Structure 1
Amino acid sequence: MAYRPIDIDALQIGMHVAKIDVAWFRSPFMRHSFLIRTDEQIEKLRRAGVKHLSIDPARGLDIPGTSTSVQDEPNGTTKPLDTPSPPATEVRSLAAMTQELLTARTARAQLEASVQNTFSRIAQTGIVDPEEATHTVHAISAVAQALNTHALFMAFNQGRAGNAPLSQHALATCSFSMILAHAADYNLLAIQELATGALLHDIGLMQVPPNILQRIHDTSATLSEQNRQAYEAHARAGAILLERRNGFSPSVEQIVAEHHAYLNGSGFPAETGGAFTSDMTRIVMVTDRYDELLTGFGGASPLTPHQSLQRLYQEGQEGRYENRLISLFVKVMGIYPVYSYVSLTTGERAIVSVINSGKLHQPIVTITHDPSGQPYIVPLVIDLANQDAEAPPRGIRSVLGTIPPEFERAFH
């Protein structure tokens, strides 16, 4: 195959791009071989830092007045095991996905600072201001609506330990609850109310002695009866803090008081029957536990998002949580959440790009590395639920993490 090298300034509509001089994970396009149809495509290449590229005169326009002398395609490059047509579902480029995730992480850091300020004032004054809580929830909601849901979800899935500040757990639980409530078709006002309860659900922990909290976070050993009672009192203590101000709805107070009142009766307070908890409270039960699993609460090893969803599902089967809500959470976020970096059964490595809602075990993936660990020149988009019968069958073997650091470093 013969290509012609050109500068970006020579690129015109009608030319067929064959190669560009930036790594594919920085490219604004999923493929590095495509027809230039608009000036906008050329501008995107400029913004991505492309200065030199190769065109394929056999598939598009050539440079006017040039000879037919062109470069042969070099040998020895790694090509995917197969190159079927990409799935019909729109798949964003890895450059776009990486940028979305970085943007979400930046937003998370800004929100964490805001929520920490709110919680610091509560710790200093012993007062929960309804107006400040509402303002904080509105800020979280605005960010949640502006960002890609999957990017927001994954941004809160990383970089926190079980002993992280209470405000970080509160923010994560609030964000996850908003996602789940939206999937459950809650209206905006109901989501705001739920989010307020989720943000403040553990506010009573501020009244638990630090040494007891440290023990709970750092070890799975059985607490003494006295310490256990002190810890379990946080649910009621939090509700009392809210009741003092007369500015919170009964639904918010109920979330704070009953978020540990598990459906099978194993939770606390003992006088609260889990079977009588509200749907809002049950959402917070699910998202609160999910975040505990992520961060290694109670001395357990932190789990990946995939492992956390698995464990949450198992605990739902034991009767602690609402199975309907867990199933909805998994359906929205996927068994393998978007941005997950996975190992395939072929030995290749890929990034989960799109969730297949009907086949959660088989998402659409963007394959980045071959079985030997070498990056493909052009990433390969494969729908694991609709594969080419003549290609090697692919499935997800394990989750390695999220988008690799080398992709992210390209944007710093």
Structure 2
Amino acid sequence: MANRPITIDQLQTGMFVVKLDVAWFRSPFFRHSFLIRTTEQIDKLRRAGVKRLQIDPARGLDLSDRPAAPLPPPPGSLAHLAKTPTEGRTEVRSLAMMAEELQAARAARDQLQRSVQSTFSRIAETGAVDSEDAKHRVHEISAVAQTLTTHALFIALSQGRNEHEPLSQHALATCSFSMILAHAAAYDLLSILDLATGALLHDIGLLQTPAAILRRVAATSAILSEQEQKTYEGHARAGAIMLERQGGFTPVVEQIVAEHHAYLNGTGFPAETRGAFTSPMTRIVMVADRYDELLTGFGGASPLTPHQSLQRLYQEGQDGRYDVSLISLFVKTMGIYPVYSFVELTTGERAIVSVINTKKLHQPIITVTHDPVGEPYVVPLVLDLANQDAQAPARGIRSVLGTVPEGFERAAP
């Protein structure tokens, strides 16, 4: 039987999708052929802008068939272990679905890194910033952010970072983290796009800084000479001047680029910019910028995990350099133990953080995957650490082992 073209309004659970009418990076799924098991999948396709698609009636329901009830989870899914979702409860996704979302986020990250790198290469070659090109990149990043889960995108951009990466990767990560924080702070879409443009270009002045100075700043804790320090600190002003001369950028974007090192406690640079008067959007970029620096080990420090970076960021916020309320919002949004964190429990078991508990950040919902001797459970256990069975052994998080272990995608049922 041939594939059948349908509209998104005709799509229903039980149908097997084989083709979508959107570009790969707009799709919320890693593959473009899959069985529709839940109405949540249909909602994701709508949000991604899918209007027309093709189904394979030989592998699922056809238009003439009756609508199917939500299908049971695939073999190995954790959905059957969770209670039926009710109002006010969070549905726990299976490891298989989490793995698919993370794969999609990683694929999108890789493509975005190539796109942003091409933009930065042109800037380095020409010495000019094309405002339309920059806006196009921001819209591409925004499209991806809207179709992926926030936690999958956050982890995909947080994993495997180091100080030897090109500037474009730091720009992409800072832009994406800034968008996540701005969305949590309830900024409107147009403001977020302006903020994202400033975040993407915040370090553009470094393209005019001698490479030897950049290497010393990024990879070592060695003290720069007075002249070297002055040259490095000039990148914020140089970037803002570059955008102003080029034209096509809003004052908000130029302000972010100029102010992103003017810390709230009066330290930082440029010297004439007082941190107390920095814009709210600049403060968001400061937090995202510093979080990414902690991930990569900027300044000769050891790279940190997302959990460690959020902890350190919160500690640094206490000295008045950054806006503490924004750091608290960032931590509340991403969690003390971010989704996809691989943790060791007080029982010796190992688990993956599945859902953030915004009211009790230390007690997320987890999926227990390994017993105390490291053997994988045949059926992983979904457990709400804030609402445990009194008859079962009490569990808590003892330590963070890192983010999801190697082979997570293959191991997930």
In the alignment, structure 1 residue 41 sits paired with structure 2 residue 71: yes
- 2:329 maps to 328
Instruction: Say whether 1:313 aligns with 2:285.
Output: no
Post-superposition shift, 1:41? Answer: 3.3
Q: Answer yes or no: is 1:357 the counterpart of 2:358.
A: yes
**Corresponding residue SS for 2:401:** strand
What corresponds to 1:277 in structure 2?
278
- RCO comparison, higher one (Cα < 8 Å, 6+): 1
Secondary structure of the 1:343 match is strand
Matched residues in 1 for 2:407 and 2:219: separation? Answer: 32
Q: CA deviation at 1:405?
A: 1.8
Asked if the contact 1:86/1:382 (under 8 Å) is kept, the reply is no
User: How far did 1:391 drift?
Assistant: 1.6
Residues 216 and 298 in structure 1, CA contact (< 8 A), matched pair in contact too: yes
* Alignment-derived partner of residue 294 in structure 1: 295
Give the CA deviation at 1:241. Answer: 0.5
Aligned partner of 2:16 in structure 1 is: none
| Partner residue in 1 for 2:258 | 257
In structure 1, C-alpha distance between the alignment counterparts of 2:69 and 2:257, rounded to whole Å: 55
Q: CA deviation at 1:167?
A: 0.2
Question: How is 1:149-228 mapped onto 2 (pairs within 5 angstroms)?
Answer: 149-228=150-229
Cα displacement (A) at 1:134:
0.5
- Gap change, CA 1:127 and 1:369, over 3 Å in 2: same
When the two structures are superposed, what TM-score results if normalisation uses the length of structure 1? 0.80
Change over 3 Å in CA distance of 1:228–1:89 after alignment to 2: same
Name the residue aligned to 2:349: 348
Summarize deviations over 1:163-186 as a string: whole Å, max 9, x none: 200000000000000000000000
Matched residues in 2 for 1:124 and 1:165: separation?
15
Aligned partners of 2:292, 2:217: CA distance in 1, in Å? 15
Separation of aligned partners in 1, 2:73 and 2:289: 45
* Cα distance change of structure 1 residues 247 and 323 upon mapping to structure 2, 3 Å threshold: same
Does the 8 Å contact 1:101/1:151 carry over to 2? yes
CA distance in 1: counterparts of 2:159 and 2:69, whole angstroms: 38
Q: Secondary structure at the match of 2:270?
A: coil
What's 1:142 paired with? 143
1:356/1:364 contact within 8 Å kept: yes
Q: Which residue of 2 aligns with 1:375?
A: 376
The DSSP-based 3-state class of the residue aligned with 1:336 is coil
- Return the alpha-carbon distance in structure 2 between the equivalents of residues 255 and 124 of structure 1: 24
What are the superposed Cα offsets for residues 144-179 of structure 1, whole Å, 9 maximum, x if unpaired?
A: 000001001111001221120000000000000000
Corresponding residue number in structure 1 for 2:132: 131
Inter-CA distance 43–357: structure 2 relative to 1 (3 Å threshold):
closer
2:390 match: 389
State the structure with more CA Rg: 1
Q: Structure 2 regions of 5+ residues with no counterpart?
A: 1-35, 38-67
Distance in 1, matches of 2:299 and 2:386, equals 38
- The one-letter amino acid paired with 1:234 is H
Task: Confirm or deny: 8 A CA contact 1:338 1:353 kept in the other structure.
Answer: yes
CA deviations on 1:106-133 (whole Å, 9 max, x unpaired) are 0000000000000000001000011111
Quick one: which amino acid aligns to residue 222 of structure 1?
Answer: I
SS of structure 1 residue aligned to 2:129: coil
Distance (Å, rounded) in 1 between the aligned partners of 2:405 and 2:133: 38
Task: Please give the alpha-carbon distance, in whole angstroms, between the structure 2 residues aligned to 1:184 and 1:108.
Answer: 24
Moved more, 272-281 or 390-399: 390-399
| Structure-to-structure mapping, 1:104-119, within 5 angstroms | 104-119=105-120
User: Deviating runs (4+, > 3 A) in structure 1?
Assistant: 38-45, 83-88
CA distance in 1, matches of 2:105, 2:402: 17
Q: How does 1:22-37 map to 2 (within 5 A)?
A: none
Q: SS in structure 1 opposite 2:246?
A: coil
Conservation of the 8 A alpha-carbon contact between 2:82 and 2:92: no
Judge conservation of contact 1:98–1:403 (CA < 8 Å) in 2. Answer: no
Q: Deviations over 1:358-403 (max 9, x none)?
A: 0001000000011111111111111111111122111111111222
In the aligned structure 2, how far is the partner of 1:133 from the partner of 1:43?
42
> Which residue type is aligned with residue 249 of structure 2?
F
Structure 2 contact 145–153 (Cα < 8 Å) conserved: yes
- Check whether the contact 2:138–2:196 (CA below 8 A) recurs between aligned residues: yes
Report if the CA contact (8 A) 1:362-1:385 is conserved: yes
SS in 2 for 1:352: strand
- Shift of the 42–333 alpha-carbon distance from structure 1 to 2, 3 Å rule, reads closer
Secondary structure at the aligned position of 2:299 is classed as helix
Secondary structure of 1:385's counterpart equals: coil
Amino acid paired to 1:226: Q
Root mean square deviation, CA, Å: 2.2
C-alpha displacement of 1:40 = 6.3
Q: Against the structure 1 CA distance between its residues 386 and 219, is the aligned structure 2 distance closer, same or farther, given a 3 Å change threshold? A: same
The residue type paired with residue 239 of structure 2 is G
The offset of 1:247, in angstroms, is 0.9
Q: Using the TM superposition, give the Cα deviation of residue 406 of structure 1 relative to its aligned residue in structure 2, in angstroms.
A: 2.5
* 1:397 counterpart SS class: strand
- The CA deviation at 1:407 is 2.4
- Displacement after TM superposition at 1:409 (Å): 3.3
Change (3 A) 1:85 1:187: closer
- Inter-partner Cα distance in structure 2 for 1:266 and 1:202: 18
Do 1:84 and 1:388's aligned partners in 2 also have CA atoms closer than 8 Å? Answer: no
Q: Percent identity?
A: 73
Per-residue CA deviations over 1:292-317 (Å, capped at 9, x if unaligned) read 00000011000011110111101111
Check the 8 A contact 2:161/2:303 in 1, yes or no: no
- Structure 1: 5+ residue stretches without partners: 1-27, 30-37, 51-82
User: Which residue does the alignment assign to 2:403?
Assistant: 402
Distance 1:404 1:245 in 2: 45
Cα distance in 2, alignment partners of residues 312 and 230 from structure 1: 26
Look up the equivalent residue of 1:260 and give its one-letter code: H
